[in-house]
Amino acid sequence: MSLDELRKFLKEMQKDDSLKNEVVSSSTADDVALIALRRGYEFSGDELLRFSGKRVGRVTVQKNDVPGEYN
Residue 69 lies in a domain: no
Return the pLDDT at 70: 55
- Which DSSP helix (H) or strand (E) runs through 19? helix 17-24
Structural domains of the chain, count? 1
Residue 53 lies in a domain: yes
Residue 42 lies in a domain: yes
Whether 13 contacts 59, CB under 8 Å: yes
Does residue 64 surpass a pLDDT of 80? Answer: no
Residue 66 lies in a domain: no
pTM: 0.83
Residue 67 lies in a domain: no
Q: What is the pLDDT of residues 16-59, one digit of tens each?
A: 999 999 999 998 999 999 999 999 999 999 999 998 888 888 88
In which domain, by residue range, is 50 found?
A: 2-60
Contacts with 23 (C-beta within 8 Å, 6 or more apart), sequence order: 13, 32, 35
Residue 29 lies in a domain: yes
